[in-house]
């Protein structure tokens, strides 16, 4: 973490795309996806002709929601890597920097962030960029590891990497970046165990956990709306990215006459 006055930047390595795909193809990953998708559905209101962007590694969840959208994109950070999606049609995947999205102002109705905010180099700058691309009244749905939960302490899942959040931290961050927090949900109350005997009790853990210990969920889900009555300061931001080509062709060496 680097501090410069009031600006605090958290440095975290993105989860690798290979590890993310491997996790969601495992039994533990499939059950985690089901629990999170169920919690998302409880706060996911339908928007007519919706333009939806998934930021991070959102592929398992976009498959559930894209049928009701006008168009859907999967934006994957450069530090994470990207995979082709969807597999049954023309690719809607883009490799991006989360502070410089390739979208015009007010062009998106909803953004879903999974495996994203906890890895952001500057969470405030990322959220400001999302504020820019969201349409008036646009919605932002964030899924982040809960700092009080067991999943944030276990490194064999992607939820054990990056910076976990408390509900209060996430709410404060949203308000600072001109979002109004709204509906919330929790998921992943069952332990991140690979034992089948434990995984078979997942439904019971989820049901009891939501009632008895919601503060200790594995992830926190918050929906927020773009706030319009307080504008963001207008400033020209210079890109902090340095682009290095993977292949730098040097051309064909030439020789002088008589050499």
Pairing of strands 2-4, 179-187: unpaired
CATH superfamily of 17-226: Vaccinia Virus protein VP39 (3.40.50.150)
Task: Give the number of other Cβ atoms within 10 Å of residue 56's Cβ.
Answer: 27
pLDDT number for residue 36: 97
- The more confidently predicted of residues 236 and 250 is 236
For 87-124, write each residue's pLDDT tens digit.
Answer: 888 999 999 999 999 999 999 999 999 999 999 999 99
Q: What integer pLDDT is reported at residue 250 of this predicted model?
A: 43
Q: How many CB atoms lie within 10 A of CB 191?
A: 15
pLDDT above 50 for 6: no
Least confident of 16-20, 152-156, 210-214: 210-214
The whole-number average pLDDT for the span 120-132 is 96
Residues 6+ apart with CB under 8 A from 212: none
Residues 6+ apart with CB under 8 A from 190: 31, 35, 198, 199, 201, 202, 205, 206, 209
Residue 231 pLDDT exceeds 80: no
pLDDT at site 145: 98
In this prediction, residue 1 has a pLDDT band, given cuts at 50, 70 and 90, of very low
Q: Provide the whole-model pTM.
A: 0.84
Average pLDDT, the chain: 87
pLDDT at residue 221, rounded to an integer = 98
Using the Cα atoms of residue 169, residue 150, residue 35 and residue 55 in order, give the sign of their dihedral. Answer: positive
* Domain-wise residue ranges, the chain: 17-226
Higher pLDDT: 68 or 171? It is 171
Q: How confident is the model at residue 241 (pLDDT cuts 50, 70, 90)?
A: low
């Amino acid at each position: 973490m680097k501090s410069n006055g009031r600006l605090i930047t958290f440095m975290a390595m993105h989860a690798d795309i290979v590890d993310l795909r491997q996790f969601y193809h495992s039994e533990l990953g499939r059950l985690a996806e089901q629990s999170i998708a169920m919690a998302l559905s409880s706060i996911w209101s339908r928007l007519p002709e919706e333009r939806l962007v998934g930021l991070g590694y959102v592929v398992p969840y976009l498959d559930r929601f894209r049928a009701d959208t006008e168009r859907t994109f999967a934006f994957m950070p450069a530090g994470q890597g990207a995979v082709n999606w969807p597999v049954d049609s023309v690719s809607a995947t883009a490799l991006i920097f989360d502070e410089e999205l390739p979208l015009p102002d007010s062009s998106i109705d909803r953004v879903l962030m999974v495996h994203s905010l906890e890895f952001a180099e500057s969470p405030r700058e990322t959220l400001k960029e999302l504020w820019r691309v969201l349409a008036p009244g646009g919605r932002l749905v964030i899924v982040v590891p809960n700092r009080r939960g067991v999943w944030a302490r276990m490194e064999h899942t992607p939820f054990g990497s990056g910076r976990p959040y408390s509900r209060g931290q996430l709410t404060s961050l949203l308000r600072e970046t001109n979002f109004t927090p709204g509906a919330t949900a929790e998921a992943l109350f069952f332990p991140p165990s690979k034992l089948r005997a434990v995984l078979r009790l997942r439904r019971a853990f989820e049901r009891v956990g939501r009632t008895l210990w919601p503060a200790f969920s594995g992830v926190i889900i918050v929906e927020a709306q773009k706030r319009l009555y307080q504008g963001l300061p207008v400033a020209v931001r210079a890109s902090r990215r340095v682009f290095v080509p993977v292949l730098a062709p040097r051309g064909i060496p030439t020789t002088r006459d008589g050499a």
